[in-house]
């Protein structure tokens, strides 16, 4: 099974969602309708290609892993 298929199916959905604002994995999971492992693999591929980046948002006693479009700094 190729790793490109999940990427090609999910990448446009993720990138479009992140154009509207930062999203956490739960929000992206709801938007894509794919399994968690497929989403995580696609997110890693987007990060590897420097299209998106991740950061942690403090929320109470935990921090939530959140994604945004890669910023040019």
Count Cβ neighbours within 10 Å for each residue of 45-57 and write b for 16 or more, e otherwise. Answer: bbeeeeebeeeee
pLDDT tens readout for residues 15-44: 999 999 999 999 999 999 988 999 999 999
**Domain extent for 27:** 4-69
pLDDT at 1 > cutoff 50: no
Mean residue pLDDT of the chain comes to 90
Burial of 7 (0-12, 13-18, 19+ CB in 10 A): buried
4-13, 21-30, 63-72 — which is least confidently predicted?
Answer: 4-13
Which residue shows structure tokens 């987007």?
Answer: 46
Using alpha carbons, list the distances in angstroms from residue 15 to 3, 40, 51, 60, 65. Answer: 18, 14, 8, 28, 17
Q: What is the CATH number of the domain that holds 25?
A: 1.10.10.10
What's the residue count for the chain?
A: 73
The tally of domains found in the chain comes to 1
């Amino acid at each position: 099974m190729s790793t490109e298929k999940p990427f090609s199916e999910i990448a446009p959905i993720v990138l479009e969602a992140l154009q509207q604002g930062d999203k956490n994995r739960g929000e992206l999971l709801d938007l894509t309708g794919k399994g968690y492992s497929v989403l995580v693999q696609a997110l890693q591929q987007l990060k590897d290609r420097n299209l998106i980046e991740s950061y942690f948002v403090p929320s109470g006693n935990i921090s939530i892993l959140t994604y945004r479009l890669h910023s040019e700094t």
